[in-house]
């Protein structure tokens, strides 16, 4: 089956989205992919907010800015960064709804609220997605009024689908009232392919590929959505098989060949099961920082068709 979209069209599409959720298993390079996507979209003229929810911040290092600590950080060139804890977003929401200071404090301090906020299925996840929706609709903090796209570096905990399904779950459990309407709106936003999209980060190794294929299936089954792209991170350089390296038994070289072989095998599995856009990013000898984010953005751009490869005249 042919790919549904050509690469150049894919980049156009990503550029037109209001929310991109970058998801994947822990340790597969979601954060560096988020930063690279941020670079790519700002280069295409969008104003972008990178939203991180992991309390142990790491996105700032890729942008060479101080950690956010909950504040909005201007990373220059139309790129913003914010680390937001789901609980904070939820507390803000209560404050906004109740409006009365004393009442708000009492609600926030009550054990019932504490446990409800921590435990109610999907509530925290829905709150984060809700925040993203408000920002792109221009109702966020003043400094973020001009943001065109929010890139959400999804939490590594749990399955990507748990996050994306959260608003549906909330809308189902709370079946009327403003909370229900809010959850329903977020849910509609997430199912609207013109407004939001999902990018899956993975490695070409067995477990990450298993989880990726599972996620694709679940997204289809539960949300009727297809990811915009699967991005394979950290690929070892291809082995030509004809050079002098083929003969050496140096352990590092042997390992490279074997690892690349696993990469190829797993890329094959992905391609057999996934006919949509697939971008490959190399393992690069660069420490995490702006240089890495920039280099990955260039590779990603090529993979997604940003810089036109030399074409036939």
Partner 1 sequence: MSTAGRRLVIVVGSGGVGKTTIAAAMGVGSALRGEDTLVMTFDPSLRLRDALGVAPGGEADEVEVALEAPGRLQAGLLDARRTFDALVHRHAPDPASRDRILANRFYDHLAGSLAGVLEYMAVERLYEASREAPDRRIVLDTPPTRQALDFLGAPERIVAFLDSGALKIALKPWFDTDGHLRPTARLGALGRSAEAFLDRMVGLDLLRDMAEFFQAFGPLFDGFRERALEVRELLRSPDTVFVLVSGPGPERVADTLFFARKLAEEGYHLGPVVVNRLHPEPGPHAQAPPEVLRLLSWLGERDRRGAEELRGLLAGSHPLATIPLLPGEPADLEGLRDVAGLLREQGVE
Considering only residues 139-198, where is the footprint of partner 1 by CB under 8 A? 155-157, 162, 169, 173-180
Give me the phi and psi of 155, to 5 degrees please: -60, 145
115: CB partners within 8 A, 6+ apart: none
Select the residue interacting with partner 1 from 101, 251, 310, 313 (CB under 8 A): 251
Q: Output the smallest distance, CB 217 to partner 1, in A.
A: 16
Q: What DSSP assignment string belongs to 124-188? A: HHHHHHHHHHHHHTT-S-GGGTT--EEEEE--SSS-HHHHHHHHHHHHHHS-SHHHHHHHHHHHH
Q: Which is nearer to partner 1, 18 or 125 (CB)?
A: 125
Provide the 10 A C-beta neighbour count for residue 210: 14
Q: Output the smallest distance, CB 282 to partner 1, in A.
A: 8
Specify the 3-state DSSP secondary structure of 57.
Answer: coil
Select the residue interacting with partner 1 from 262, 267, 278, 295 (CB under 8 A): 262
CA distance linking residue 256 with residue 101, whole number of Å: 61
Q: Which is nearer to partner 1, 249 or 311 (CB)?
A: 249
Considering only residues 62-101, where is the footprint of partner 1 by CB under 8 A? none
220 binds partner 1 (CB under 8 A): no
291 binds partner 1 (CB under 8 A): no
Residues in the chain: 313
Are the beta carbons of 171 and 184 closer than 8 angstroms? yes
Q: Which is nearer to partner 1, 12 or 280 (CB)?
A: 280
Q: Under the rule (CB under 8 A), what is the footprint of partner 1?
A: 25-28, 54-56, 111-112, 114-115, 118-119, 121-122, 155-157, 162, 169, 173-180, 205-207, 210, 236-237, 240, 243-245, 248, 250-256, 258-259, 262, 283-285, 287-288
């Amino acid at each position: 089956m042919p790919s549904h979209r050509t690469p150049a069209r894919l980049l156009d599409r990503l550029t037109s989205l209001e929310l991109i959720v970058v998801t994947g298993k822990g340790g597969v390079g979601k954060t560096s992919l988020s930063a690279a996507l941020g670079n790519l979209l700002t280069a295409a003229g969008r104003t972008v907010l990178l939203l991180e929810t992991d309390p142990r911040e790491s996105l700032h290092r890729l942008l060479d800015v101080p950690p956010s600590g909950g504040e909005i950080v201007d990373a220059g060139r139309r790129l913003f960064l914010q680390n937001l804890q789901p609980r904070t977003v939820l507390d803000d929401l209560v404050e906004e709804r109740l409006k009365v200071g004393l009442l708000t404090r009492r609600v926030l301090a009550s054990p019932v609220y504490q446990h409800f906020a921590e435990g109610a299925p999907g509530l925290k996840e829905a709150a984060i997605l809700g925040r993203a929706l408000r920002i792109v609709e221009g109702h966020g903090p003043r400094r973020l009024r001009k943001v065109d796209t929010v890139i959400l570096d999804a939490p590594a905990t749990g399955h990507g689908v748990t996050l994306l399904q959260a608003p549906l779950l909330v809308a189902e459990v709370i079946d009327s009232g403003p909370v229900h309407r809010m959850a329903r709106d977020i849910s509609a936003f997430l199912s609207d392919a013109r407004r939001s999209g999902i990018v899956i980060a993975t490695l070409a190794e067995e477990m990450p590929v298993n989880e990726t294929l599972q996620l694709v299936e679940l997204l289809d089954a539960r949300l009727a959505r297809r990811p915009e792209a699967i991005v394979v991170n950290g690929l070892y350089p291809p082995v030509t098989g004809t050079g002098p390296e083929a003969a050496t038994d140096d352990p590092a070289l042997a390992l490279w060949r074997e690892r690349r072989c696993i990469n190829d095998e797993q890329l094959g599995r992905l391609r057999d099961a996934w006919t949509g856009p697939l971008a490959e990013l190399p393992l690069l000898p660069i420490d995490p920082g702006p240089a890495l984010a920039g280099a990955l953005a260039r590779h990603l751009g090529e993979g997604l068709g940003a810089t036109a490869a030399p074409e036939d005249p």
